[in-house]
Structure 1
Amino acid sequence: MEDRINELEIKLSFQEDLLDTLNQTVVLQQQQIDSLQRQLQMLYQQFRDMKDRGEEGGLLANERPPHY
């Protein structure tokens, strides 16, 4: 009976360690997701600002590209 209890305690210890590791992974992934969302919002805002100024690919809307 004591062997079974020891075995269960060992398994519980490994499961707690695994749970901590998984939790840390989830926290890091959420931080990365938050960072990527902020970057995407900044890019979207830059795109909207360029569009509002009439720029397209760095050119003004009425400006001819250099190959014309």
Structure 2
Amino acid sequence: MSTDPTKDLVARIDDLETRAAFQERTIEELHTMIAAQWEKIDRLARRYDRLKAEFDEIVEARPSLPSAEPPPPHY
């Protein structure tokens, strides 16, 4: 009872092709997710830069406070 080597080889090739197709699909899905994440990171970084610039302007524009305030009269 020997098995046909050709059938074994065809089965192995089919298995490898199936695995390669699955891996290609997985890689494409991961690529899509990574690209979307980078776009989101870029948007968040630009938003952070704008907010930081606005905050810095507000801090610079506010009147300076005296360095030491005298204590209130009830002390």
Q: TM-score range by the shorter chain?
A: 0.7 to 0.9
Q: Please list every run of at least 4 consecutive aligned residues from structure 1 whose deviation after the TM superposition is greater than 4 angstroms.
A: none
Aligned residues: 57
Q: Normalization by structure 2: what TM-score?
A: 0.72
Q: Please identify the structure whose Cα radius of gyration is greater.
A: 2
Q: Normalization by structure 1: what TM-score?
A: 0.79
Larger relative strand fraction:
1
RMSD of aligned alpha carbons? 1.1
5+ unaligned residues in a row in structure 2: which ranges? Answer: 1-8, 66-75
Instruction: Map 1:1-68; keep pairs closer than 5 Å.
Output: 1-54=9-62
**Identical pairs, percent:** 26
5+ unaligned residues in a row in structure 1: which ranges? Answer: 55-59, 63-68
Greater relative CO (CA pairs within 8 A, separation 6+):
1
